[in-house]
A = this chain, B = another copy of it.
């Protein structure tokens, strides 16, 4: 394997000169540069990353920890992150959860021990008491470049950037949408704890706001997977009385629920409305297409990556909590509650139509493209 020394010899220059063309490239004659580049090409020379890392304390590796691999939501975030780091010549290390469902500790270790230059942590749970969070805070305080992706960071004086989207606000819209269509028994499918707790909270708040009693029996504790959505929906069939709508913690759960319902012959949205969160690609491909709270996934990934890169390159030295906007996309999986007759203001609205004619291919649909990859954000910044 050719080293910088070989290149220098071949080009008949000093190794320092080779290093100079390799990096910035400043202060080198065009002629010399060409000679060096020729030699590099001839020898197929590639700088040794270990030597570089040792000397410069930069590995050009950044890690991204994900709570799970199989949810397309995360795939979109990865794509956003890549868009920023690939051009910057950083390699991306994806960290999946290990068997005990925890990706973070190993990679905290990697960061602390100079394997990687920076870390983007996508949270599924976050509490100040959590060991990982504590380790992370400590590293952040020490100045390691870290960006957290996901809601619920408990501190307003964070030691790293926190990127979120305003899902609770979107969810509020979704609840409003359901209530306006006559739904009063609205179930929630999802975890009771962790980063998504705010969603459950938004669900509760919205019910209270509309003076609807919050029934514990309508809160179905589950995971964030298709499987979980499926089995929670199955449980509905063991009850005498079913809700008329389901709000799911994410699209995967929503689609899982749809599958179970359709298998039982329940028609959506005529007999049951369903709302998801995320707007994964699948959401607009299933039938009926899924009403969901859009999250700007790629934009979140890009933003996280840009902040992280800024910290690594020491361009950025303040911490921000940034919330990208999130919004309801009404598709076909939501419709008026069974037997609903609008009692409100003159406007007859779609909701007053017969159930049968509703649901499929409705026109309320919000233009989706408008939301894709936008960067609208609310920012709470704090100087360093």
Partner of A69, one of B1, B70, B112: B70
A4: which B residues are within 8 A, CB to CB?
none
Known: A260-B287, A282-B227. A110 touches B91 (CB 8 A): yes
Contact of A259 among B68, B91, B113, B262 (CB under 8 A): B262
Residue with the highest number of chain B CB atoms closer than 10 Å, among A59, A69, A231: A69
Copies of this protein in the assembly total 2
Q: Which residues of B contact A71 (CB under 8 A)?
A: 70
The reply to whether A114 and B48 form a contact with Cβ atoms under 8 Å apart is yes
Q: Write out, one digit per residue, whether chain A residues 208-248 have a CB within 8 A of any chain B CB (1) or not (0).
A: 00000000000000000011001100100000000000000
Question: Which of A92-100, A196-204, A374-382 lies at the interface with chain B?
Answer: A92-100
Known: A69-B74, A72-B70. Is A94-B91 also a contact (CB below 8 A)?
no
Asked if B46 and A50 sit within 8 Å, CB to CB, the answer is no
Q: Give the residue name and chain of the B residue nearest to A72 (CB).
A: B70
Indicate if A184 sits at the interface (CB-CB under 8 A).
Answer: no
The docked-state distance in angstroms from the alpha carbon of A244 to that of B218 is 40
Q: Tell me whether A226 and B259 are in contact in the complex, defined as CB-CB below 8 angstroms, given that A51-B54, A96-B94 are known contacts.
A: no
State how many angstroms separate the Cβ of A64 from the closest Cβ of chain B: 9
Which residues from chain B contact A86 at a C-beta distance below 8 Å? 98
Task: Kindly identify which residue among B49, B99, B115, B262 contacts A91, using a CB–CB cutoff of 8 Å.
Answer: B115
A3 to B53, CA, bound (A): 15
User: Which of A35-43, A75-83, A159-167, A314-322 has 4 or more CB atoms under 8 Å from chain B?
Assistant: A75-83
Query: Quick check: is A281 within 8 A (CB to CB) of the other chain?
Result: yes
Nearest Cβ in chain B — how far from A24, in angstroms?
A: 21
**Which residues on B sit within 8 Å (CB–CB) of A259?**
258-259, 262, 286
Contacts of A82 in B (CB 8 A): 96, 98-99
A106 contacts B by Cβ under 8 Å: yes
Q: Is A383 an interface residue (CB 8 A)?
A: no
A contact residues, total (Cβ < 8 Å): 53
Q: In whole angstroms, what is the CA distance A53 to B98 when docked?
A: 25
- Distance from A51 Cβ to chain B, minimum over Cβ atoms (Å): 5
Is A263 among interface residues, defined by CB-CB distance under 8 A? Answer: yes
B70 and A114 form a contact (CB under 8 A)? no
Chain B residue nearest to A75 in the complex (CB): B69
How far is A265 from B266 in the complex, measured between Cα atoms in Å? 10
Q: How far is the CB of A257 from chain B (nearest CB, A)?
A: 12
- A86 CA to B109 CA, complexed, in Å: 13
The answer for the CA separation of A68 and B69 in the assembled complex, in Å, is 10
- CB-CB under 8 A from A258, the residues of chain B are 259
Q: Which of B50, B70, B262, B265 contacts A53 (CB 8 A)?
A: B50
Nearest Cβ distance between residue A114 and chain B, in whole angstroms? 6
User: Looking across the interface, which residue of chain B has its beta carbon closest to that of A74?
Assistant: B69
CA distance A54 to B53 in the complex (A): 9
What 4 A-B pairs are tightest by C-beta distance, nearest first? A94-B94, A50-B53, A50-B54, A46-B113
**A-B contacts besides A53-B54, A61-B115, A263-B286, 15 pairs, CB < 8 Å:** A46-B113, A48-B114, A50-B50, A50-B114, A53-B53, A54-B54, A69-B70, A70-B75, A75-B96, A91-B106, A93-B94, A94-B95, A94-B96, A227-B285, A265-B265
Task: Give me the interface of A with B, judged by CB distance under 8 Å.
Answer: 1, 46, 48-51, 53-54, 59, 61, 68-72, 74-75, 78-79, 82-83, 86, 91-96, 98-99, 106, 110, 112-115, 226-227, 230-231, 234, 258-260, 262-263, 265, 281-282, 285-288
